[in-house]
Amino acid sequence: VRFPEDLEDDSTTFNPEYSHQVFGDDEVAFGYKGLKILLYYIAGNLSTLFRIEYTSKVNEKFDCVEADDVESKIREIIPPGFCTNTDDFVSLLEKEVNFKPFGMLLHTYSVHNEEAGEDITYQIYKADMTCPGFREYHERLQTFLMWFIETASFIDVDDERWNYFLVFEKYNKDGATLFATVGYMTVYNYYVYPDKTRPRVSQMLILPPFQGEGHGAQLLETVHRYYMSSPTVLDITAEDPSENYVKLRDFVHVKLCQDLLCFSPGKLMQGFSQEMVMEAQQKLKINKQHTRRVYEILRLRATDMGDAEQSRSYRLDVKRRLIGPYKKKQRELAKMRRCLRPEELTNQLNQIDLNMQHEQLEESFQQLVSDYRRVLERLAQA
């Protein structure tokens, strides 16, 4: 909500992707007809208005069943101090002009908005719990995780090893410059013996109204650039990354790596090298596993897949990596031959069908190439 009229504007509304963490695996609220759970957030500081509406509700006295206590379930995840009255919320909205982003400005960029017919400015900040008001703001911000990340959990904000990176949009209201929350990322700094840290991305969320505009890539690249300047950072990882996050990370890593000398077309065609691993880690804080994906994507770009020899060479190179788990199975099978009785061995052999393995390998390769091509298409448009 930026303006009072937004409260009545359904076009600014977005629905949760998940609700199982609040309402159970069936995602059902029992006992209501026409139930609406309404959560409004002021665009900048995320002050909250919470209302429940319904046309009817089961009555324990007459229906002998009790409706779910929806209000209590929501109160468990939104911090105290929220409004239940629209007038109170609108009076808070009038004070929004005083809201300023928290922490240190890291990056400013603009995105052209077709609808508005102009470039809109965005800024990325790094904050921590010592910033006045940030702790309370973060409590409100993290409530979105429950609706948009499948296995979300709230973090221990008293642990000083957390870093917070925030994206804001700058907009004008009655001649003043205001800020709207776009998304954020939390990063935990793990200790690596003897004197390094390994930042690990824990949660990353771009709010639905801003998705598909490139903010995730801007945020991840800014975070990489922030840590790149630190000699004590070994590399950057992610906790249980989603499929979409992996695609985003591939794009950002390739964008960062493509100008390194070790990824020049001539060197790519010679195969994956230790030089690539060292340079990507030392200069860009990208680890070996992710560097290998960067190599495969950039080598695909440098390969003429219409040329039989080049295509075969690329396919074999990628499949040599993909075949790792299958080779492990073969080693296990060799051990079984020495240890198992014939009937037990037959049972195990049935589970390790070589033809099926080849089919799965080819399927994995085709899927990977498809994903890599999408990264390269996005890179060409960047």
Kindly report the three-state secondary structure assignment for every residue of the chain: CCCHHHHHCHHHCCCCCCCHHHHCCCCCCCCEECCEEEEEECCCCCCEEEEEECCEECCHHHHCCCCCCHHHHHHCCCCCCCECCHHHHHHHHCCHHHCCCCCEEEEEEEEEECCCCEEEEEEEEEECCCCCCHHHHHHHHHHHHHHHCCCCCCCCCCCCCEEEEEEEEEEEECCEEEEEEEEEEEEEEEEECCCEEEEEEEEEEECHHHCCCCHHHHHHHHHHHHHHCCCCECCCEECCCCHHHHHHHHHHHHHHHCCCHHHCHHHHCCCCCHHHHHHHHHHHCCCHHHHHHHHHHHHHHHCCCCCHHHHHHHHHHHHHHHCHHHHHHHHHHHHHHHHCCHHHHHHHHHHCCHHHHHHHHHHHHHHHHHHHHHHHHHHHHC
Provide the annotated active-site residues. 239
Give the Cβ contact number of residue 76 at 10 Å: 9
List per-residue pLDDT tens for the chain, 382 residues long. Answer: 999 999 999 888 999 999 999 999 999 999 999 999 999 999 999 999 999 999 999 986 667 788 999 999 999 999 999 999 999 999 999 999 999 999 999 999 999 988 878 999 999 999 999 999 999 999 999 999 999 999 888 999 999 999 999 999 999 998 999 999 999 999 999 999 999 999 999 999 999 999 999 999 999 999 999 999 999 999 999 999 999 999 999 999 999 999 999 999 999 999 999 999 999 999 999 999 999 999 999 999 999 999 999 999 999 999 999 987 665 656 665 665 667 666 665 665 555 566 667 788 899 999 999 999 999 999 999 8
* pLDDT at res. 326: 60
Give the Cβ contact number of residue 258 at 10 Å: 14
Tokens coding 23: 């309402």
* pLDDT at res. 349: 53
* pLDDT at res. 351: 54
Tokens coding 227: 């840590």
Which of these, 8, 2, 105, lies nearest to 44 by C-alpha position?
Answer: 2
Q: Is the pTM of this model over 0.75?
A: yes
Tokens coding 339: 């240890």
* pLDDT at res. 164: 98
CA separation for the pair 106, 329 (Å, rounded): 47
Give the Cβ contact number of residue 142 at 10 Å: 20
Q: At what angle do helices 354-381 and 243-257 cross, to 10 degrees?
A: 60
* pLDDT at res. 117: 86
* pLDDT at res. 205: 97
4-96: CATH homologous superfamily?
Answer: Histone acetyl transferase 1 (HAT1), N-terminal domain (3.90.360.10)
In the chain, list all ranges with CATH 3.90.360.10: 4-96
